[in-house]
Amino acid sequence: MNDELLLRYSRQILLPQLDIWGQEKLIQARVLIVGAGGLGCPAAMYLAAAGVGHLTIADDDTVELSNLQRQIAHHTEDIGRPKAESTAATLSALNPNVKVEALCRRLEGEALAAQVAGADLVLDCSDNFATRFAVNRACVQAGRPLVSGAAIRFEGQVAVFDPRQPDSPCYHCLYPDQGELEERCSRNGVIAPVTGIVGSVQALEAIKVLAGIGRPLTGRLLILDGLQMSWHCVNLPRNPSCPTCGASS
């Protein structure tokens, strides 16, 4: 690390839990972020600011006016621009030391599997169940930790699924695959700060897993009620009969 990087990350390096060795781990890390919306924007910005060395942003959507209320990596002049490109530009301006790759397409099948296998950790910041289940399957198959987030109305949730740990559940253990549900902010609405809170927690959990510090939310579900400003954390046992990560899968 040169003097410029030491100064840029100095407030993190001062933390005894992280120190220089932890910062080096972040600099060497590769993270895939699926979704550049309300969750992906703050998560990606905090990971870039923290110095995660390589970020891949995957999103097949373009910026719309209604996105700007909560998707803070995009600006008015980005309307009509691919979200992955807009986010990549914001991240590069925030921290030019981070390599950012924009994938302006939906990751599916072999392409999804290859991107997950090439990452050290995956953030699911998508807004639909089909993508969440697909990303979860790819992470289980590749043995990559997954930081999952969701936000709707005034509510949010975050969990970490780490197939490297034998007792860790996967996303499919938490939710049965029952097809697409009508729970999206485009239909139900969402208050902007909740997406920022959830995306920020996802970034923090990713940093903890990458640096090997603290106690990540592996096997736990953190739930936010923004109207009451209350947090609940519940344990998530692994389902031995899970079609994705169970013994028979």
List the catalytic residues.
Answer: 185
Contacts of 51 (CB under 8 A, 6+ apart): 5, 8, 9, 12, 23, 26, 27, 95, 97, 98
- Rounded to an integer, what distance in angstroms lies between the CA atom of residue 86 and that of residue 104? 10
Quick check: 117 and 94 in contact, CB under 8 A? no
Q: How many Å apart are CA 135 and CA 144, to the nearest integer? A: 10
The 10 Å Cβ neighbour count of residue 104 is 18
